[in-house]
DNA sequence: AGATATTTGTTCGTATGTATT
DNA sequence: TAATACATACGAACAAATATC
């Protein structure tokens, strides 16, 4: 494949992508990888059963315990679920969005994300999301959205109250994202929201005085749904943009953010 | 917490978010969850060792095999790695971006993403990425970027050639993303690129005639790096935007995309 | 370099739990 | 209720890897 030219420069047709380590795999890992390949090669779909044959390969046999480890790995990857009893076994499942986000949260376990970084993305994506949704929601979508609206009869008194409201509002945004025609856009939005939610424990700051965010008239969720229903995409987009700016300003101003934990490299 | 009012309506301060199933967990899953909690509660960092005590809980003891399953689960989540030999054991690790993307790929295993959906996001994010990078790259960043540039001395003859070049170019974009100041932005960009990469197998269409994408003068990567170096953010952003539009047009026009596999619900 | 101790990795036999028939 | 088929769990051994002397 690779060749060395006259100048001694190696020209590769397959440039080094991500540096493949490729140490010898453990038996369980090799087995898990093989089964995953078999699933996609044989076109198995969610609900299909993993054939026993695959677990009893003659060439590269593994004992029960090792097979169990491989299956456990596939299970935590959200690829299979096992059922007991007659007719039971390992069945292919589709990784759910919630599960995927659960796995992703580990990514920032030792490396707390920056609130500003999260909002930089949210401000880019969520206005685009509402623009794509304006005038395109059916009755059911509107109803789902309205069911999520939480009205707070009492004004938040402390920064803690306001913070909890801000977090609770994320549910509304999550429903909005789930309605997206672009499923990847929806997923990324929910991911960003979950990152923000996970900062709750850290940011709780009960006593800090609180200067209310000016939200004139109706709460923004009600106004947003109305604009979406009316199909006024530009106005909905602008409203969302303003709302995100307000939220960010509030969180940055009132939440005590722990500095990023550095990862040893 | 929850209260029942006179009308018999239950008012909950914590509205039902995602409907927690909470079936009885398997011993291995319970153990894995407990260890994960212990890791964050005790503030363990990557490199720290998991105390043996945690695996030998008196109250809720599990056998060696079960413990191994729990550890395997944590390992596939990217939270630990185990080493053999004296002083070995299970050590906390930080989930790497590559690993996380590997886990995410399962999300679209039975639900092929739409190329248009991917590009809708890329066109939103990557121009923003280069804008944030313009004039802010140090010598090392520039060098890394330049090392990734691949010059194709021969014009692509078939759609297959051009397709492979388009995929190979993703490496350049990945390096670009890795240089982002906003780590979440970088991660999402790499994720989108990997989604595109995974479509390679599906789209290979060797014989289709190919109408070359007009790229005047120097390849766009060289021009982009120059603009970034010069600090001309607006021009770099516009160039990236045009390039992504070209790539999308090409892929949509010449790649035969398998219809989305529907997931049984 | 080689022996040794330590710790994970793998296997087998067996028993228990659970859902179907 | 009982028989069946399957996953789940336990315990004891042996094999392989690796750091230390």
Q: What is the pLDDT of residue B241?
A: 96
The tokens of A116 are what? 């500003």
CB contacts, 8 Å: A25 with chain B: none
Q: Nearest CA to B59 among B79, B34, B80? A: B34
pLDDT of residue A99: 94
**Rounded average pLDDT over B2-21:** 38
Give the chain B residue whose CA is nearest to the CA of A195.
B184
| B193-240 confidence digits (pLDDT tens) | 999 998 865 555 555 555 555 454 568 899 999 999 999 999 999 999
Q: What is the pLDDT of residue B1?
A: 37
Q: Who contacts B133 (Cβ-Cβ below 8 Å, separation ≥6)?
A: B176, B179, B180, B181, B228, B236
Report residues 111-140 of B contacting strand D, contact meaning Cβ closer than 7 Å: none
Give the mean model confidence (pLDDT) for residues B17-39: 80
At B243, give phi and psi (nearest 5°).
Answer: -60, -45
CA of B83 to C1' of D18 (A): 9
DSSP-derived letter for residue A57 is -
Q: pLDDT tens-digit profile of B114-142? A: 999 999 999 999 999 999 999 999 999 99
Q: Among 1.20.120.530, 2.60.40.10, 1.10.3720.10, 3.40.50.620, what is the CATH number of B99-257?
A: 1.20.120.530
pLDDT at res. B209:
54
Name the residue among B15, B125, B264 with its Cβ closest to that of A45: B264
Angle of helix B170-178 relative to helix B183-198, nearest 10 degrees? Answer: 160
**pLDDT tens-place string over residues A199-211:** 865 555 555 555 5
pLDDT value for A154: 61
**What residues have CB less than 8 Å from B76, skipping those under 6 apart?**
A32, A72, A73, A76, A77
- Show which positions of strand C are touched by protein (CB under 7 A): 5-14, 17-21
Name the strand (E) or helix (H) holding A11: strand A10-11
Q: Are A227 and A235 in contact (CB under 8 A)?
A: yes
Q: Where in chain A is the domain with CATH 1.10.10.10?
A: 2-92
Q: Tell me what pLDDT residue B10 has.
A: 34
Kindly list the distances between the CA atom of residue B108 and the CA atoms of A40, A80, B83, B236, in Å, as whole numbers in the listed order.
Answer: 12, 14, 32, 32
The CATH number of A2-92 is 1.10.10.10
Contact B185, A120 (CB under 8 A): yes
DSSP code for B64:
H
If we measure between CA atoms, which residue out of A132, A133, A128, A156 comes closest to residue A144?
A: A133
Report if CB B25 to strand D is under 7 Å: no
- Beta-bridge partner residues of A3: A11
Q: What is the pLDDT of residue A200?
A: 64
What are the two backbone dihedrals, phi and then psi, of residue A83, each rounded to the nearest 5 degrees? -120, 140
Say if residues A46 and A94 touch (Cβ distance below 8 Å). Answer: yes
What pLDDT score was predicted for residue B60?
Answer: 82
- What integer pLDDT is reported at residue B157 of this predicted model? 66
How far, in Å, is the CA of B71 from the C1' of nucleotide D17?
18
Whether the beta carbon of B64 falls within 7 A of nucleic chain C: the reply is yes
In chain A, list all ranges with CATH 1.20.120.530: 99-257
Cβ partners under 8 Å of residue A101, min gap 6: A190, A191, A194
- Nucleotide of closest approach to A88 (CA, C1'): D6
Phi, psi of B16 (to 5 degrees): -60, 115
Binned average pLDDT, 10 residues per bin, chain A of 265 residues = 35 38 80 94 94 86 92 96 93 95 93 93 97 94 88 65 78 94 96 89 56 59 93 96 91 59 34
């Amino acid at each position: 494949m690779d060749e060395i030219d006259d100048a001694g420069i190696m020209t590769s047709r397959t440039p080094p992508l991500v540096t493949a380590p490729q140490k010898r795999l453990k038996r369980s890992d090799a087995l898990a990888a093989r089964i995953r390949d078999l699933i996609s090669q044989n076109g198995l779909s969610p609900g299909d059963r993993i054939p026993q044959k695959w677990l009893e390969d003659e060439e590269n046999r593994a004992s029960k315990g090792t097979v169990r480890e491989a299956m456990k790995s596939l299970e935590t990857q959200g690829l299979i679920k096992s059922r007991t009893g007659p007719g039971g076994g390992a069945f292919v499942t589709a990784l759910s969005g919630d599960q995927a986000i659960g796995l992703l949260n580990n990514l920032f376990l030792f490396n707390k994300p920056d609130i500003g970084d999260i909002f930089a993305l949210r401000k880019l994506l969520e206005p685009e999301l509402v623009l794509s949704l304006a005038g395109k929601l059916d009755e059911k979508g509107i109803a789902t959205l309205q069911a999520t609206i939480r009205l707070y009869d009492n004004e938040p008194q402390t920064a803690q109250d306001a913070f909890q409201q801000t977090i609770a509002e994320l549910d509304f945004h999550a429903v909005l994202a789930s309605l997206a025609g672009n499923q990847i856009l929806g997923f990324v939005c929910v991911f960003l929201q979950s990152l923000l939610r996970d900062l709750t424990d850290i940011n709780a700051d009960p006593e800090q005085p609180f200067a209310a965010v000016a939200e004139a008239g109706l709460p923004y969720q009600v106004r947003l749904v109305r604009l979406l229903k009316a199909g006024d995409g530009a106005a909905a987009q602008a409203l969302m943009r303003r709302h995100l700016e307000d939220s960010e300003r509030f969180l940055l101003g009132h939440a005590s953010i722990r500095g990023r934990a550095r990862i040893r490299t």
